[in-house]
């Protein structure tokens, strides 16, 4: 028949019946060799080539795709419609006035995006054309990376990156292992060990490797970096021998070969199917609160524009309904136009009015905002205070779109290890059967000077205790995945084992393991090497002991322990196990559990990272049983992880406890000061960590997240085992709400009665809260109760968290009903998910690679720099851009409202008030530079004061400067100024001749007068709002006014040959030749600015904000206020309990945020009573008759 039955059965099962088999697995033929006849059907599958594509556009689709994306923005689409209307119908202004700015914006954006994509193409080509070595017909040949195919055998040398995902067949090392760094994938810079297939590890020569006859069955590509399930069928004498394949055999694209001369491996996933490519996470577009406010304002102004056009259209036809008031004779229309249907004529007129008034929507605002964000981001990168000399790194801005969001943060989510702490492990002590051993001055393998002698406490008495002690030391020397490198440096970092010598160095994927092994070296037991599956250690008697390594039960975050099975030279078999106390103690059947547990708890409270060590002697029969269990689980293709976990669970039992270890991870410099400042600024800080509860809680106390008087609420697995989750949640809810409710009802109580709450929750309980079990009937509102508890806690600690859970917590808070602005900060690959989820993501340039930095919006060298980037840069950016947005809408209302009023005086004929040149250049040239410069360099308060007094951050919280009342104030101010300008000019010039020859002012002179007053008024308004004057401000503000005057003189003083008609000829000069015109300009500018000046003076005198009080104080001290410490006495709360302008957090939370604000003071402060203490009274008189908020901290002295 040409096809045997087995082949037919395979095809039917793959394509028809078992679609799952086709989806879930693939068969790879090593070296593209067919299996022996009768073994299995040879079905060549199609796989993608090894080409990587990260670019967005191609040469052919760039223009249509880019145009589509740009016109999806509502502003661009709106201006396109206006431009098309100007082209189609007869409109009062030239299409150039809309088309030119739009063309400029679209072109600049397209060039920028095209250039960025060209760089991506360039990077892709560099990767795709990179040479790789492939084994073909017994010889190693070179080919381009993009031409690699699944099944090719690849030859990789030391320090080369893997071109695709590979299964390791053999290496230059005798034991078939190789060492790899995966920093570009998961951020971990430490070396990891990978293993060759047992049956192929001996093949080292080209011919030998080429002779391998095997197939690999494995799962289809999926993005999990740490999971891989497959098996290899090796044909020996036409009979297949099956061997398991797991993640320890899989070399990932992008990882680098280290400490191994060469390897041979087979390609199984290529191109966009590699795990690295599947993990490309396109960042979702983050939009700031300011941008959302801008869009809301845009919609309001669009409605104003439509209503203006509609009113004018209706009034035009109402005015023309009188037969004697048809259109003016000079507005000549053809007969065809007159005979059109009235609805068509009305619609055409409506569109013409839309075009006339469309300048109320400022296209240039979007360009200015983009420039402000882009240029403003350089101030972060240039900040010398955020330069770290140790790392040689500055702050990095990956996304300038979110600068102002740094000034709006309400929740900060931070990782612990490497973010709050240094990720620099130091062995502190170990405890064996209750006896404590301290090895001082061991830090990351470097024995500190002056620590030459062994330092031990409670040296073990008796021979049995000594035997246990040595067994404990051996266990730590054997139960690990540490490698030894026989060189002086590892990636440029010196890590010596022997003090003063440079013979060999420890490398591990876990810094804890290196610290433990080196601590054992300090206590007399030195791990030497792993050679031929034998681990060698040097004991106290300088004798080398050899242990055969039989099995490694690798660490995972669910079990939270790892084990090894070794055979001693005497033939005895041992299982050594180390792990978290919660995972070891339940499996222990003997040993001094109580003494060790007490020491572990003591160390955890001190903030040390603890591990417990236990062992179990195995008989040969038990070992055989273990081997069967493990081999059965490892060979499974389906549910391998589950079966391995079950096997590990059965093996790691009946343990005998030996002792425990303690390792310290030190706090980063100024971490506590930074967290305290963030709290004072009104931010809630959450710590999300994978560490155990006790260690994480101790770090929280050390970093001042929790204080000694903080009442800790626990929502942990331990508590939910004792009572149901439902009861625990409601108990906690009653506790915090009783306090909160009492404070709300009785505001006159002592502030010291306020209890500061801190919540601790673990990952398992959080999962239950997020996704309760189906049988729990009361599960509907768990999330809401949990959120209510969190809202009333000053700090929250989430421990034992998986990376995905971190993102879930951020999303939970981010999508709660208040929609607070969230910030996530972390340093490792496990923090990437929460960094991408938060409104603002900040990466720390730590020791766990650059994955977090690459995926963040901003990157800073150390955690302490978070204080400056939020309290100073964030504050400034928000103040600047909020003024920019409000000012742009204000100046455009001033610009267009006179045009609207003018229609009532020109028979609604769509006659422009201003010349075309003025219409085009108003937003582009005359008024754009001053506000751009203001939005880049304005400093309303001295930088040192902002750092010293974090409470000022509260004044701008919750988008307080872009709220609707302030927006309405700016709009009303714009309308008032427009009315003053238009009617002031109108009534002053009514029936009056002004020129020496008796001529009256014409309509263009009238429009030019209004425009002159307009330009000067809006520029002076900005000058009045400017607090920080430099020569650049003076140059740009006065320079733009001089430019307007010079341009007007040239535009109207010269006959330009390219103009068909020149309606502005000599108009500006004629206006300036009139004395009354000069007087009118001065009077109208004064009348326009006066109400705003009066409002500011009165409000500052009667209801000053904290910011305004600081500004006044700084003037009195002539800019030296920051040198005087007591800033907090300037703060004031609402008079008579009313709302205070500009304060975000104070308005919404009557309770103080932190209890120490009141407990650290030697005086009593009451709500709504005369103050008992303030500092500035004799000099400033800023006392508040009702209440003084005295912020705690070093800046207030009593």
Residues marked as catalytic = 415
| DSSP per-residue codes, 1106-1158 | HHHHHHHHHHHTTT-GGGSS--GGG----GGGPPPTT-SHHHH--S-S-THHH
The dihedral of CA 117, 122, 123, 124: what is its sign? Answer: positive
Q: DSSP string covering 965-996, please?
A: HHHHHHHHHHHHHHHHHHHHHHHHTTT-B-ST
Q: Rounded CA gap, 533 and 694, in Å? A: 38
Q: How many CB atoms lie within 10 A of CB 1107?
A: 22
- Closest to 978 measured CA to CA, from 1005, 1011, 946, 1006: 1011
Q: What sign does the dihedral 1045-1047-1050-1056 (CA atoms) show?
A: negative
Angle, CA 899 vertex, CA 893 and CA 905 arms, to 5°: 140
Number of helices (H) and strands (E), helices first, in the chain?
41, 37
Residue 1112's closest CA among 961, 994, 942? 942
157: region left, alpha or beta (phi > 0 left; psi from -120 to 50 alpha): beta
Q: Which residues contact 615 (CB under 8 A, 6 or more apart)?
A: 471, 475, 574, 575, 576, 577, 655, 656, 658
Using the 8-state DSSP alphabet, how is residue 388 labeled?
A: B
Asked if 1099 and 1141 count as a contact pair (C-beta separation under 8 A), the reply is yes
1037 HSE (CA, 13 A, CB side): 19
Name the 3-class secondary structure at 455. coil
Helix, strand or coil, per DSSP, at residue 460: coil
The closest of 160, 279, 156, 269 to 216, measured between CA atoms, is: 269
Report the run of H or E that residue 1008 belongs to, with start and end.
Answer: helix 1003-1025
Give ∠ CA 251-256-260 in degrees, rounded to 5: 90
Beta strands at 795-799 and 757-762: parallel, antiparallel or unpaired: parallel
DSSP state of 707: -
Burial 1069-1079 (b: 16+ CB within 10 A, else e): ebbbebeebee
What are the b/e assignments for 87-112, b being 16+ CB within 10 Å? eeeebbbebebbbebbeebbeebbee
Quote the CA–CA distance of 741 and 750 in Å, as a whole number.
Answer: 15
- 3-state SS string for 713-744: EEECHHHHHHCCHHHHHHHHHHHHHHHHHHHH
Backbone phi, psi, residue 1028, to 5°: -110, 100
Task: Map tokens 């001042």 to a residue.
Answer: 704
* Alpha-carbon gap, residue 665 to 669, rounded angstroms: 12
Separation of alpha carbons 431 and 612, rounded Å: 9
8 A C-beta contact, residue 671 and residue 1182: no
Residue at token pair 């081999």:
631
Q: What is the dihedral of CA 382, 385, 387, 390, to 10 degrees?
A: 170
How far are the Cα atoms of 357, 656, 750, 924 from residue 914, in angstroms, in the given order?
12, 92, 64, 15
Contacts of 296 (CB under 8 A, 6+ apart): none
Q: List strands edge to edge, sheet with 153-157.
A: 139-144, 131-136, 153-157, 262-269, 165-171, 250-251
């Amino acid at each position: 028949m040409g096809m045997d039955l087995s082949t037919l059965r395979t095809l039917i099962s793959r394509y028809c019946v078992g679609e799952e088999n086709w989806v879930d697995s693939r068969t790879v033929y090593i070296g593209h060799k067919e299996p022996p006849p009768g073994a299995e059907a040879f079905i060549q599958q199609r796989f993608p080539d090894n080409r990587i594509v990260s670019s967005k556009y191609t040469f052919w689709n760039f223009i249509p795709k880019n145009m589509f994306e740009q016109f999806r923005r509502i502003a661009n689409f709106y201006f396109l419609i206006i431009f098309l209307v100007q082209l189609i119908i007869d409109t009062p202004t030239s299409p150039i006035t809309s088309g030119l700015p739009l063309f400029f914006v679209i072109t600049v954006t397209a060039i920028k995006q095209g250039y960025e994509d060209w760089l991506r193409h360039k990077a892709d080509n560099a990767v795709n054309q990179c040479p790789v070595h492939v084994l073909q017909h017994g010889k190693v040949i070179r080919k381009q990376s993009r031409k690699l195919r699944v099944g090719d055998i690849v030859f990789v040398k030391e320090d080369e990156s893997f071109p695709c995902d590979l299964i390791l067949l053999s290496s230059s090392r005798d034991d078939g292992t190789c060492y790899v760094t995966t920093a570009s994938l998961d951020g971990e810079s430490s070396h990891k060990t990978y293993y060759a297939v047992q049956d192929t590890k001996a093949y080292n020569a080209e011919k030998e490797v080429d002779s391998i006859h095997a197939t690999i069955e494995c799962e289809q590509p999926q993005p999990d970096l740490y999971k891989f399930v497959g098996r290899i069928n090796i044909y020996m004498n036409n009979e297949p021998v099956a061997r398991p394949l797991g993640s320890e055999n899989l070399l990932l694209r992008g990882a680098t070969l280290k400490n191994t001369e060469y390897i041979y491996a087979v390609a199984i996933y290529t191109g966009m199917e590699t795990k690295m490519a599947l993990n490309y996470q396109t960042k979702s577009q983050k939009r700031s609160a300011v941008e959302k406010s801008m869009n809301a304002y845009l919609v309001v102004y669009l409605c104003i524009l439509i209503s203006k056009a509609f009113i004018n259209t209706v009034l035009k036809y109402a005015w023309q309904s009188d037969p004697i008031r048809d259109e003016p004779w000079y507005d000549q229309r053809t007969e065809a136009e007159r005979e059109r249907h009235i609805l068509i004529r009305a619609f055409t007129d409506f569109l013409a009015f839309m075009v006339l008034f469309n300048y109320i929507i400022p296209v240039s605002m979007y360009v200015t905002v983009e420039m402000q964000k882009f240029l403003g981001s350089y101030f972060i990168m240039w900040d010398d205070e955020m330069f770290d000399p140790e790392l040689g790194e500055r702050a990095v801005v990956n996304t300038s779109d979110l600068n102002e969001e740094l000034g709006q943060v309400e929740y900060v989510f931070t990782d612990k290890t490497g973010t709050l702490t240094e990720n620099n492990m130091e062995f502190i002590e170990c405890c064996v059967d209750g006896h404590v051993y301290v090895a001082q001055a061991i830090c990351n393998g470097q024995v500190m000077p002056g620590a030459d002698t062994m330092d031990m406490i409670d040296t073990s008495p008796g021979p049995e205790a000594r035997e246990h002690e040595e067994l404990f030391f051996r266990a730590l020397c054997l139960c690990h995945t540490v490698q030894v490198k026989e060189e002086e440096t590892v990636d440029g970092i010196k890590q010596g084992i022997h003090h003063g010598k440079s013979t060999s160095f420890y490398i591990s994927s876990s810094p804890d393991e290196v610290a433990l092994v080196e601590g054992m070296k300090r206590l007399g037991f030195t791990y030497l090497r792993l050679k031929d599956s034998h681990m060698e250690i040097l004991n106290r008697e300088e004798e080398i002991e050899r242990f055969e390594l039989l099995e490694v039960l690798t660490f995972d975050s669910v079990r939270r322990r790892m084990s090894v099975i070794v055979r001693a030279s005497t033939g005895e078999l041992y299982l050594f196990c180390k792990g978290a106390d919660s995972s070891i103690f339940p499996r222990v059947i003997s040993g001094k559990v109580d003494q060790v547990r007490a020491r572990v708890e003591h160390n955890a409270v001190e903030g040390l990272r603890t591990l417990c060590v236990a062992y179990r002697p195995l008989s040969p029969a038990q070992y055989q049983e273990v081997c069967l269990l493990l081999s059965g689980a490892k060979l499974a293709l389906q549910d391998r992880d589950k079966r391995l976990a079950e096997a590990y669970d059965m093996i790691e039992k009946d343990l005998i406890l030996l002792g425990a270890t303690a390792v310290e991870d030190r706090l980063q410099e100024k971490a506590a000061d930074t967290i305290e400042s963030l709290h004072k600024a009104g931010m809630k800080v959450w710590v999300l960590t994978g560490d155990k509860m006790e260690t994480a809680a101790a770090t929280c106390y050390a970093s001042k997240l929790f204080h000694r008087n903080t009442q800790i609420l626990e929502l942990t697995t331990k508590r939910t085992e004792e009572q149901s989750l439902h009861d625990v949640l409601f108990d906690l809810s009653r506790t915090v709400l009783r306090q909160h409710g009492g404070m709300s009802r009785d505001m006159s109580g002592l502030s010291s009665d306020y209890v500061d709450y801190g919540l601790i929750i673990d990952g398992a309980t959080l999962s239950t809260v997020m996704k309760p079990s189906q049988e729990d009937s009361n599960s509907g509102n768990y999330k809401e109760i949990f959120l209510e508890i969190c809202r009333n806690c000053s700090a929250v600690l989430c421990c034992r968290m998986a990376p995905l859970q971190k993102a879930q917590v951020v999303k939970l808070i981010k999508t709660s009903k208040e929609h607070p602005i969230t910030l996530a900060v972390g340093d490792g690959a496990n923090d990437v998910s929460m960094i991408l989820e938060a409104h603002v993501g900040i990466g720390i340039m730590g020791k766990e690679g650059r994955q977090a930095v690459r995926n963040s919006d901003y990157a800073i060298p150390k955690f302490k720099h978070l204080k400056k980037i939020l309290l100073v840069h964030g504050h400034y950016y928000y103040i600047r851009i909020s003024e920019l947005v409000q000012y742009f809408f204000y100046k455009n209302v001033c610009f267009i409202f006179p045009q609207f009023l003018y229609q009532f005086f020109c028979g609604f004929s769509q006659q422009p008030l201003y010349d075309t040149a003025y219409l085009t250049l108003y937003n582009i040239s005359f008024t754009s530079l001053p506000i751009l410069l203001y939005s880049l360099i304005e400093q309303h308060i001295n930088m040192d004061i902002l750092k010293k007094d974090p409470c000022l951050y509260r004044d701008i919280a919750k988008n307080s400067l872009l709220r609707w009342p302030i927006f309405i104030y700016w709009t009303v101010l714009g309308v008032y100024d427009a009315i003053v300008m238009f009617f002031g000019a109108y009534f002053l010039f009514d029936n009056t001749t002004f020129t020496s020859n008796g001529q009256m002012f014409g309509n263009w002179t009238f429009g030019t007068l209004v425009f002159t007053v307009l330009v000067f008024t809006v520029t002076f308004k900005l000058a009045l709002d400017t607090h920080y004057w430099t020569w650049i401000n003076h140059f740009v503000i006065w320079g733009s006014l001089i430019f307007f005057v010079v341009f007007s003189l040239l535009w109207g003083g010269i006959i330009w040959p390219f103009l068909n008609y020149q309606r502005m000829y000599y108009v500006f000069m004629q206006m300036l030749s009139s004395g009354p015109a000069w007087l009118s300009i001065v009077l109208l500018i004064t009348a326009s600015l006066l109400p705003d000046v009066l409002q500011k003076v009165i409000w500052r005198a009667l209801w000053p904000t904290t910011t305004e009080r600081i500004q006044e104080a700084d003037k009195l001290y002539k800019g030296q206020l920051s040198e005087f410490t007591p800033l907090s006495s300037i703060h004031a709360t609402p008079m008579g309990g009313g709302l205070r302008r500009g304060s975000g957090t104070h308005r919404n939370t009557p309770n103080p945020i932190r209890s120490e604000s009141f407990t650290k003071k030697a005086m009593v402060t009451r709500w709504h009573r005369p103050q008992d203490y303030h500092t500035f009274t004799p000099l400033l008189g800023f006392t508040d008759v009702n209440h003084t908020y005295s912020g705690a901290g070093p800046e207030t002295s009593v």
